[in-house]
């Protein structure tokens, strides 16, 4: 008599499940890091694109363009939290404040809630002159998440107005 069993024994199934659990346990932290890195990189790239857009518009339009953090698109935020959202506007009266005469060119809503993006309290906005420069001191916007300073990155904008991404950010 020939027995032709086509299935798994309970022992084989338990071994397979144990291997899956072990591999999942090792893979989940790496997946979480990958997901947080992707979120941070996407937010940084979006803000850098906004700065590049503002710089180009200042040159094309030969007008002063301001990029500032905002929570509601009605005014620049009092704090330096870029993670709440940001806007690019033409500063018609050159007062660095969004008011009735100014025109919003583009804006972005808040970033992922796990992410913070802070600049210095002393440099809360970026102003581009008619030549595309950003006079004043350099501005650094630090991006942090729940992993802390070890994984922080930053955007640095120099006086020429060029934004660059630095892998050396700081949280705190």
Higher pLDDT, 158 or 4: 158
**Which pLDDT score is estimated for 32?**
87
pTM: 0.83
Contacts of 10 (CB under 8 A, 6+ apart): none
pLDDT number for residue 46 = 95
Instruction: Quote the tokens at residue 73.
Output: 């698109």
19 has pLDDT over 70: yes
Looking at per-residue pLDDT, the higher value among 172 and 25 belongs to: 25
- In tens, the pLDDT along 85-114 reads 999 999 999 899 998 789 999 999 888 888
Q: Is the pLDDT of residue 166 over 80?
A: yes
pLDDT score of 143 more than 90: yes
pLDDT at 146 over 70: yes
* Domains identified in the chain and CATH numbers: 12-166 (3.55.40.10)
- Residues 42-83 pLDDT 10s: 999 999 999 999 999 999 999 999 999 998 888 999 888 999
C-alpha 172/C-alpha 165 separation (Å) is 19
């Amino acid at each position: 008599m020939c027995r032709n069993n086509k299935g798994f024994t309970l022992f084989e199934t338990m071994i397979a499940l144990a291997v899956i659990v072990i591999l999942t346990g090792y893979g989940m932290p790496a997946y979480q890091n990958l997901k947080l890195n992707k979120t941070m990189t996407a937010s940084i790239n979006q803000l850098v694109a906004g700065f590049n857009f503002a710089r180009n518009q200042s040159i094309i339009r030969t007008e002063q363009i301001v990029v500032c953090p905002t929570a509601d698109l009605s005014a620049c935020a009092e704090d330096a939290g870029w993670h709440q959202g940001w806007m690019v506007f033409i500063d018609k009266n050159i007062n660095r404040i969004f008011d009735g005469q100014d025109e919003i060119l583009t804006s972005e809503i808040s970033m992922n809630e796990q992410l913070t993006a802070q600049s210095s309290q002393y440099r809360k906005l970026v102003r581009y002159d008619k030549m595309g420069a950003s006079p004043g001191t350099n501005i650094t916007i630090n991006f942090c998440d729940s992993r802390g300073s070890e994984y922080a990155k930053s955007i640095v904008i120099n006086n020429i107005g060029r934004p660059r991404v630095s892998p050396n950010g700081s949280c705190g």
